[in-house]
Amino acid sequence: MSVLARSFFNLAVIKVPLHRLIAAFAGLHWPVRATATPLVFPAQPYGRSPTDLPLLLWTPACAPELTAFMPQVSSGDYFVVEYACRRFGFAGVSIRSTTQDDEWPINEFIVYESNELRRCVRAMKDSSRWDFYTQGAPLNFENEAAYQARRLRDRIQRESLLGYVESWGAPVGNPEFWSSRQEAMTLVHQSPA
């Protein structure tokens, strides 16, 4: 099964090579360090077990100028995107998507530029009702007509998200996006000396 066919996925792509992103984090003098980790898509674990690492950073084989980032479910690793895009100023895109039959479905597309959130489009159900939310000016590749659909859940679907990410510059539909010619990395807590 393709990663993009999973019942839920969470992915961010940052416009910077992985080595530069790791160097930016190293410059913070945080108690974390980068360490090599296996990259085994499409079977990459996405759950949270004691043996699974909490986050995954890799350089897509088809796009060496990008860093892809996939946090694990409920891992709290959103600081990676926050720091990469808001503090370091790298452009980035973040998407989350579930299937429509999920208990709490969501389809979300967020773009960061120049240290701030530039665009957000989200349809989600976090109570008994659906909510559709946008922030920022639409990007030239968005299907704004879809945002007028009567049912909120139909305004942005997984297929739209994937098309948006491709148009932004991340070739997620290319199988080589999910492999790398370099070591994948994770950030691990470093014990004080």
pLDDT digits (tens, 9 = 90+) for 101-144: 777 889 999 999 999 999 999 999 988 899 999 999 999 999 99
pLDDT tens digit sequence for 82-102: 889 999 999 999 999 988 777
Q: Are 107 and 160 in contact (CB under 8 A)?
A: yes
Q: Which helix (H) or strand (E) holds 159?
A: helix 158-168
Instruction: Count other C-beta atoms under 10 Å from residue 31's C-beta.
Output: 10
pLDDT of residue 192: 57
Residue 175 has pLDDT above 60, yes or no: yes
